[in-house]
Structure 1
């Protein structure tokens, strides 16, 4: 048994000793739309997998559409025999699931690092980008921030209802950022935070956001980009579970209300060399400007990643603190790329465009490819919004146009992998077309 297997076996045994009532563990991984798929294993079988027994799942699980269906993408799904692909356990991710009625465990799995990685698996895509950057002496430090809404657990005519204020039992329908909202929703918010910490997630600041029943959670900065994205993915899963326990529905939908702000995924990224020096701060911050230029140039071609569905594109409609063009600025929340005020050690870029329902592995991978290419080309960015409020680069706001722009971009095909770009774009194209195959009441009202 090699060292990795020994450590995994020790992790499983320690978990079993700490949680003797747990009989099953969910082995989970994120698919292209950002949903977890996997299998529920008896815990005694998990120990065998940790010791080196084969762990395989269908390769095409990664290709599922938003509604779980399979699309014909090249030879995948319908002409490949639906083959299994090897997965491995991700060390350090075996944690308790305490929002279910029965004790349960969960553990991340991935094809990354196996003998045959799935090139379009989101975690593998990010792993390849990080490996390439490390080979160039570039080491990102990353922190995610996620916004989400709480709704009443019951929908009405299929529509979400405002969360009930626990103190007054009235609908929390007033947009505000008042600290009292944190107190009134403290029972569910506190459990969300404690549950996230039980998953190993370093949750920090909690904010009552502008929308009714809207909140934001910040995570600590990490020098492990894969783990940072793991945190964002796992937080969404645990938060939904905790909300249901409290008779709420937690949603990371990007734009649940047209009249209220959408929910974003903000990503803070700084870049360091092997000695721990902040690369962005060198030479009077010229690398910062080059990195910004690369990100802005690539951003219009990354829109299917940052806004992965029809609703996510609705968020980019000119509401407060959401950019409608690729832009940047110092301490400017109207910009796609905000440079927060900080000392040279902590100089970073905050990428603010992605919706909260975007895939965190792919969002971070796309950001890093933009930063990487910016550092290599050394071009100067457009004027910051601080100097010119009209500065910006247009990006597509319609899915099929966005997909075409992504699929044809040579930089993305090189940076994220050509096969991934082909698969991802076809998945988004077919998902969008499937979504449009519905006649709603408004269409009858307008055209009948």
Structure 2
């Protein structure tokens, strides 16, 4: 513990030497809906925390709804006295914030690794899954891909406007994959990529996607699942900030336009043993088939994680490369679980169902649990789409149905934790009901 504190203290002191103008550091963590919460600390106080002083935040900050409100979930929030819970600094995450008007730093915090972790904190849920897999001799290698849209900074009566092409000043309202769009929006995209790299994130490929103003960013493969999810979470925060600086609004909303493709979170996962052998490639790839079967079996029960809000369900079906059923296939982007072409060393799955605004810690945890369950159950999957275009099993396409499917699923309760499943399902149920408590203009047009 002493050496751990020494490492953190050295990190803080090195940061202060490199960035003497930074007076405050945001200590941040991701809540259940995928928003950052935290506190802004004077940098000199951060040194004390790094040296071992306690760092406490309200436990129930993790339970906030999508709009920041608290819901009654069991005894949490209203019958528990709103207690504090210990957090710790995540080593290696203290970085400068370049998109704010004043010099600032930020650093991730978490309850995992403390004496009493919060069972429903997303990062803790993933940490427990990874720890269990490590004890079984299973070591995941993970890479995220995130799609997002650029919009004009100003909304039009609350509605998004197409991003303006900086060369022509016209709206970028044409769906295409033209690489010239990367040049036209090069200033903001380059700043996004460099800012992410300054945060320690390994940015690789940048793609102009089909939707107008839509792009995709790929991250490097990591043998640390927690860090991979950290990258995805931090990228969303920095990208939104950089976009505003350039006069745009960046959004990871799942389906901002009904007529154009939605934005997804694609996750590549391969599994290795302690000697570095690809577990999925053994025995003529039979473990791969078992792992796929486990993912597909649990997928309908994980929909509140993969589609975490009302809008995310709009993304499913109706446009290109968005699955409508739990399916798999080799080199098939219509499948939920795609097997990219690769050599045995790099054999992996690409899980394509989650929306871009899903919580990356929980998405990865759900995928890994599916793989783990499949390797243990050793069942054959349904036929791939390459053999039968109608292959697939139904999954819920409504939040309340999805919550019912998740709440009592025994494998998820065992491997993600019953307390987490209960809290998460109730959070999503109440968030959905709160969203419904507004009459929209269309309703008056139809029924007044």
Place the TM-score, normalised by the shorter chain, in its bin. Answer: over 0.9
Alignment of 1:235-246 (within 5 A): 235-246=235-246
Gaps of 5+ in 1: none
Deviation for aligned residue 1:317: 2.7
Alignment partners' CA distance in 1, 2:256 and 2:199:
27
Alignment partners' CA distance in 1, 2:48 and 2:170:
51
Deviation sequence 1:31-87 (CA, Å, 0-9, x none): 000000000000000000000000000000000000000000000000000000000
Deviation for aligned residue 1:408: 1.2
Structure 2 SS opposite 1:107: strand
Alignment of 1:4-83 (within 5 A): 4-83=4-83
Q: Which runs of 4+ in 1 moved over 4 A?
A: none
**Paired positions, count:** 448
Alignment partners' CA distance in 2, 1:247 and 1:241:
10
Alignment of 1:108-257 (within 5 A): 108-257=108-257
Structure 2 SS opposite 1:147: strand
Alignment partners' CA distance in 2, 1:225 and 1:393:
28
Deviation for aligned residue 1:318: 2.5
Alignment partners' CA distance in 1, 2:225 and 2:265:
15
Alignment partners' CA distance in 1, 2:319 and 2:441:
26
Deviation sequence 1:98-148 (CA, Å, 0-9, x none): 000001000000000001100000000000000000000000000000000
Deviation for aligned residue 1:388: 0.2
Deviation for aligned residue 1:339: 0.2
Deviation for aligned residue 1:319: 1.0
Deviation for aligned residue 1:168: 0.1
Alignment partners' CA distance in 2, 1:267 and 1:164:
30
Deviation sequence 1:184-210 (CA, Å, 0-9, x none): 000000000000000000000000000
Structure 2 SS opposite 1:368: helix
Alignment of 1:409-448 (within 5 A): 409-448=409-448
1:376 aligns with 2:376: yes
Deviation sequence 1:365-401 (CA, Å, 0-9, x none): 0000000000001000000000000000100001000
Structure 2 SS opposite 1:417: helix
Alignment partners' CA distance in 1, 2:201 and 2:162:
28
Structure 1 SS opposite 2:302: helix
Deviation for aligned residue 1:265: 0.1
Deviation sequence 1:235-280 (CA, Å, 0-9, x none): 0000000000000000000000000000000000000000000000
Gaps of 5+ in 2: none
Deviation sequence 1:328-359 (CA, Å, 0-9, x none): 00000000000000000000000000000000
Alignment partners' CA distance in 2, 1:136 and 1:179:
44
Give the alignment's TM-score, normalised by structure 2: 1.00
Structure 2 SS opposite 1:140: strand
Give the alignment's TM-score, normalised by structure 1: 1.00
1:387 aligns with 2:387: yes
Instruction: Give the structure 1 partner of residue 279 of structure 2.
Output: 279
Instruction: Give the structure 2 partner of residue 326 of structure 1.
Output: 326
Instruction: Give the structure 1 partner of residue 299 of structure 2.
Output: 299
Alignment partners' CA distance in 2, 1:104 and 1:328:
45
1:356 aligns with 2:356: yes
Instruction: Give the structure 2 partner of residue 338 of structure 1.
Output: 338
Alignment partners' CA distance in 2, 1:287 and 1:440:
49
Structure 1 SS opposite 2:268: strand
Structure 2 SS opposite 1:166: coil
